[in-house]
Amino acid sequence: MTTPLLTFNALSIAFRRRGEWRTAVRDVSLSVQPGETVGLVGESGCGKSTLAMAGLGYLPDNARILAGEISLTGESLATMSPARLQQRRGDTIAAVYQNPATALNPALTIGRQISEIFEYQKGLTARAAMTAAKAMLEQVRIANPEQLLRAYPYQISGGMQQRVVIAMALAGEPDLLVLDEPTTALDASIQADVLALFDDLRRDLGVAMLLISHDLGVVRAVCDRAAVMYAGEIVETAPVSELFAQPKHPYTASLIDCIPTGHTHWSHERLASIPGYPPALGERGAGCAFAPRCPVARAACQQQPVALAWLNNSHASRCLFPEDTAAPGGNRPPATPGRPAGERVLESDDLVVGYKGVRVLDGVTLDVRAGETLALVGESGSGKSTLARALTGLTVPDAGSVRLDGTALPGAQRKRVQSTRRALQMVFQSPENTLNASHRIGPALGRAIRELGGLGYRAARALVPERLAQVALEADTANRRPAQLSGGQRQRVAIARAFAGDPKAVILDEPTSALDVSVQAAVLDLLIDLQQRRGTAYLFISHDLAVVRYIADRVAVLFLGRIMEVGPVERIFSGVRHPYTAELLAAIPDWAQDHPSTQAAPVMTGARDRPTGCPYASRCAYVMPQCANEPPPVREPAPGQQIHCHLPINELPGSLYE
């Protein structure tokens, strides 16, 4: 057997916080063999990044290794001299992290930042190093490296920045890449692209990888083997195919069942949710850490710590009753049919919003019906949030109109009447900023009930416990401040606030994109229940197509401020579709069976240089001569589905439905 590149052996790490040592990583044993790709998954705060930094010998000052050992190709980090460690970084192990924007030095050109590695590690001259840097950029599939070498980091897009970071990591020809959420900050189609790049690197260079992600889909698509972490421990490790076919730890099984598959609507298959929350750092019971939330827990589980046990030579689980783990889908509650859509509630007609002379929204026409969810998808910069702001009057549109229940609304929020505000509300993306940090939940929610529900102070305050209960929060949440709540809890408060005056339509701007999958599943559940009880119309903005497939009845696809396509969700996912929709769908990690062989990265055209015809023309694989100049006609391959494209219906991508 070969020596593993990286080994964690019974490793425990603690952080010092407010004068106390709290264990963040406990008894972790894991190794990465040459050429292997190992995934490390788990929800936020479970210790993934801590483990990765430990592997690089770069723990923060307030961290301490309590027990165990880390070794690089058999050589223990604990006994390594600083000079030796510096040498091994780069030539054995290199890293790529989540946020490429901060990982690059803002004051130096890209070329300088890559070439210095060759100068100091390989002793090349400045000129030779620059040539080598150029070659490196070509290796990460960058089209015109010369230009990039002279650019500063802020001048290039996030996807490009991440490629540059990868190029830097590869420059020392390392045997192992540690990738900490390398695609989390990127748009879906760019994520697919970067993942495809990893695949190539693995094949061409044989470099091993430790890929850290909270996204099971990514791990499934890229890795050979995966380890699942919970509360600082590895709870299960197995080859990816085995792990997803039949997990042997209830946490893994629940986690898998929390993730929308991208194939079904909630009325056919409901997502599972995991009750409760993971233990806070250093605050877990004596027994199995998952016991308080485990669907099959028994008395024995609470008594003493559970050890990681090997079930066969490649599959290990930290569970006393691994065979009781449900099969995939086994944690999902039965589905119930949804209610039919009603009248049109919220409509926009030819809405235009300009910003610094550029049309960010260029004639958007949409409608949402009572009890229905219309999803709005599109890459970042396509104008999704601008549309939400224009509908709610936070941004005043330059042209076009917004109608609520058939009545045209004034463009500016200020000019709207209170009954309009009550009827049209919004839930925002960031759980950090959606609530005022200095207001307690009770008064904040009371204020919303008072203003939107038209109630007096006392009556409004009296309603707070009931409203909290409706979003499954305990009554004592009212006395807390936002900082004392988790992201999911805050988002529930924000939902309760939006529902304070029994709205007819709610705009949800990426309400779950900052949440962990298990929390996301619970919040989606809540939204579905509220809608089914009250018949609220939802405009659900998201870049996650699997979530869209799960929650939406209809989908609108936005590109550079124009609607490309609108249609029923099942038509768009399984029928013919607009070429741009096809590109978006191809980017779902396990959607496409094999990866779209590394296509040139989509050129990000800004709204500024949009052609007069189809805005997608500069990127479209099906582009025809008339596309750039003539506005595309509307195709209707099925009732309710409208595709704006010059292609005849039978040449559109996707297959005709049924």
Partner 1 sequence: MRSLTRSLTVSPGLTIGLLMVMVWVVTAAFAPWVAPHEPTAMGVGPQTAAPSWGYWFGTDQYGRDILSRVIYGGRYVLAIAPASTLLGLILGTLIGLLAAYGRGWLDEVIMRLLDAIMAFPIVVLALLALTVLGSSTLNVILVIGLVFAPLIARTARSAALTEVRKEYVEAARLRGEGHWYVMVMEVAPNIRGPLMVEATIRLGYAVFTSATLGFLGLGVQPPAPDWGVMVSSSRSLLTTAPWAVLAPALAIAAVVIGFSLIADGLRDREQQ
Partner 2 sequence: MLRYTLRRLGMLGVTLLVASVLIFLITAVLPGDIGRIILGPFAEESAVRALNESLGLNDPLVWRYFDWIAGVLQGDWGQSMSLNTPVLPLALERFSRSLALAALAVAMLLPLAIGAGVAAGRRPGGPLDRVLSVVGLGLGAMPEFVTGVLLIVVLGLGLDWFPVQATTPADGSVWAVIHGLMLPALCLVLLLFAYLFRMTRSGMLSALEADYTRTARLKGLPERLVLRRHVLRNALLPTVTVMGAQLGWLVGGLVVVESLFRYPGIGSLLHNAATNKDIPLLAGCTLLVTAVFSLANLAADLVYALLNPRVRDALAD
**Residues near ligand SF4, by CB under 6 A:** 249-250, 288, 290-291, 294, 296-297, 301, 306, 319-321, 579, 614, 616-617, 620, 622-624, 627, 632, 645-647
Alpha-carbon distance 227 to 237, whole Å? Answer: 4
Residue 512 found at the interface with partner 1 (CB under 8 A): no
264 binds, among partner 2, ligand ATP, Mg ion, none (CB under 5 to 8 A by kind): none
What's the closest the beta carbon of residue 171 comes to partner 2, in angstroms? 8
290 contact, one of ligand SF4, partner 2, ligand ATP, none, CB 5-8 Å limit per kind: ligand SF4
Q: Which of 40, 41, 136, 168 binds partner 2 (CB under 8 A)?
A: 168
Residue with smaller CB distance to ligand ATP, 48 or 225: 48
- Residue span binding partner 1 (CB under 8 A) among the ranges 24-32, 369-377, 426-434, 522-530: 426-434
Q: Are 572 and 652 in contact (CB under 8 A)?
A: no
Positive or negative: CA dihedral 607, 613, 614, 619: negative
Q: Least Å distance between CB 317 and ligand SF4?
A: 8
| 494 is a site residue for partner 1 (CB under 8 A) | yes
Give backbone dihedrals phi and psi of 597, rounded to 5 degrees, phi first. Answer: -55, 125
Which positions from 65 to 104 touch partner 2 by CB under 8 A, shown as an x/- string?
Answer: -----------------x---xxxxxx--xx-x-x--xxx
- Paired tokens of 349: 């007609």
Single residue of 324, 451, 590, 630 touching partner 1 by CB under 8 A: 451
Residue type, 603: V
Amino acid at 388: A
Is residue 513 at the binding interface for ligand ATP, with CB under 6 A as the rule? no
Q: Are 464 and 440 in contact (CB under 8 A)?
A: no
Sole binder of partner 1 in the list 23, 71, 373, 434 (CB under 8 A): 434
What are the strands of the beta sheet with 20-32, ordered from one edge?
20-32, 6-17, 63-72, 75-76
- Minimum distance from CB of 505 to ligand SF4 (Å)? 30
Q: How far is CA 104 from CA 121, 149, 187, 190, 528, in A?
A: 19, 13, 19, 19, 42
Judged by CB under 8 A, does residue 79 bind partner 1?
no
Q: Per CB under 8 A, does 435 bind partner 1?
A: yes
Torsion of CA 168, 173, 176, 179, to 10 degrees: 10
19 binds, among ligand SF4, ligand ATP, partner 2, none (CB under 5 to 8 A by kind): none
Pairing of strands 37-41, 208-213: parallel
Nearest to 403 by CA among 386, 383, 420: 420
Residue 388: contacted member of partner 2, ligand SF4, ligand ATP, none (CB under 5 to 8 Å, by partner type): none
Q: Kindly state the tokens that stand for 536.
A: 């609220």
- To Mg ion, the closest distance from the beta carbon of 520 in angstroms equals 17
Q: For partner 1, which residue of 439, 480, 481, 534 counts as binding (CB under 8 A)?
A: 439
Applying CB under 8 A, the span of 42-50, 166-174, 531-539, 602-610 interacting with partner 2 comes to 166-174
Q: How many residues does the chain have?
A: 658
41-49, 144-152, 218-226, 330-338 -> range binding ligand ATP (CB under 6 A): 41-49
Who contacts 254 (Cβ-Cβ below 8 Å, separation ≥6)? 272, 274, 293, 295, 331, 518
How far apart, in whole angstroms, are the C-alpha atoms of residue 628 and residue 646? Answer: 10
Q: Give the integer Cα–Cα distance in Å for 258 and 175.
A: 35
What 3-state DSSP class applies to 15? strand
CB under 5 to 8 A by kind: which of ligand SF4, partner 2, Mg ion, none does 49 bind? Mg ion
What residues contact residue 492 under an 8 Å CB cut-off, 6+ apart? 471, 472, 473, 523, 526
Q: Is 620 an interacting residue with respect to partner 1 (CB under 8 A)?
A: no
For residue 158, what are the contacts with CB-CB under 8 A and spacing of at least 6? 100, 101, 185, 186, 187, 190
Nearer Cβ to ligand SF4, position 43 or 509?
A: 43
Report if residue 116 touches partner 2, rule: CB under 8 A: yes
Closest to ligand SF4 by CB, 264 or 605: 605
Binding site for partner 2 (CB under 8 A): 56, 58, 82, 86-91, 94-95, 97, 99, 102-108, 116-117, 120-121, 152, 154-155, 165, 168, 171-172
Contact positions toward ligand ATP, by CB under 6 A? 15, 17, 24, 42, 44-50, 60, 62, 214, 281
